[in-house]
Amino acid sequence: MAALCALSLVGCGAGEKAVEEASNKAIEKALEDDGAKDVDIDSEDGSVKIETEDGTTAYGEDLDMPGGFPSDVPLPLADRSIISATTNKNEMAVMMALTDPDLAAEEKHLVGGFEEAGYTVSDKVSSQAEGMEMLMFTATKGSTQVSVSITGEQGGESNAMYAVTQGS
């Protein structure tokens, strides 16, 4: 009887969902057994969140900005979606997918925003070659250092990476 019920669920698509949920739970358990404090896999939105004693890592689309991210740090003008966020003690990294950014406008906005917030901007490099473009710089204020990198195709999608170190 149980086998007949299971077969009927598979025929209705419920079996596929049950297998996916069982797989997610098995992966979560394996990672937790390997030292992760908490693992959550959400097959609905495709996100993964792993918590350890040292910090948290999340992957997905439209994630939340991690707690503790400096509120005075300017973010890109282009439409953006946070696709990964990692925190580890006094460090964090945030990766954003950008839609059709204007690199010159982003440079003016970000560098100006950091300087307006009291940061010193240094090590600025920008480049365009063979359909690719890149902007990188470091901004420092007190014991907070933010390294920003925007890379991608000209007129296409790009990624912005913010690496933040706070304290010593």
Instruction: Clarify whether residues 75 and 27 are in a common domain.
Output: no
The CATH code of the domain that includes 80 is 3.30.2030
Q: Using CA atoms, how far apart are residues 98 and 33, in angstroms rounded to an integer?
A: 36
* Residue positions counted in the chain: 168
Report the number of distinct structural domains present in the chain. Answer: 2
pLDDT value of residue 35: 54
Which of 22, 50, 53 is CA-nearest to residue 38?
50
- pTM of structure: 0.76
**Is residue 72 located within the same domain as residue 142?**
yes
Q: Which domain holds residue 5?
A: 1-40
* Residue 29: pLDDT band with limits 50, 70, 90: low
- My answer on whether 82 and 156 are in the same domain is yes
Q: E strands within 14-143?
A: 38-42, 47-51, 55-59, 79-88, 91-99, 120-129, 132-141
Indicate the Cα dihedral angle 81, 59, 50, 137, nearest 10°: -70
| Range in 20-34, 55-69, 107-121 with the lowest mean pLDDT | 20-34
